[in-house]
Amino acid sequence: MMRILFWVALIVLVIAAIRSKIRGKLRDMTPPPGQPGPGARAHPIRELGATIECAHCHVYFPESEAVTADGRAYCSSEHAHQPHRPG
């Protein structure tokens, strides 16, 4: 009976060792920071902080990238030079 318990314990240890090895390999395969990997699906705009709406195309974008013209904020300099679209 003790022999069976010994073998069961040995098999469990081997499976645990193989599983930890596989997990280590998967960690090596994950892309480096900067590239979106599996599980990294956070909203990109939320990470950048405050967002404002472009007065021309009404797209929300980070406030740090805003181009201001005539007191309005635009997503790009091209939109800043185009007339305001109501609505």
**Which positions touch Zn ion (CB under 5 A)?**
54, 56-57, 75, 79
Cα–Cα distance measured from residue 86 to residue 76, given in angstroms and rounded to the nearest whole number:
18
Shortest Cβ 84–Zn ion spacing (Å): 11
Shortest Cβ 74–Zn ion spacing (Å): 5
Among residues 5 and 50, whose Cβ is nearest to Zn ion?
50
* Number of residues in the chain: 87
Shortest Cβ 59–Zn ion spacing (Å): 5
Amino acid at 57: C
Element (H, E) at 78: helix 77-81
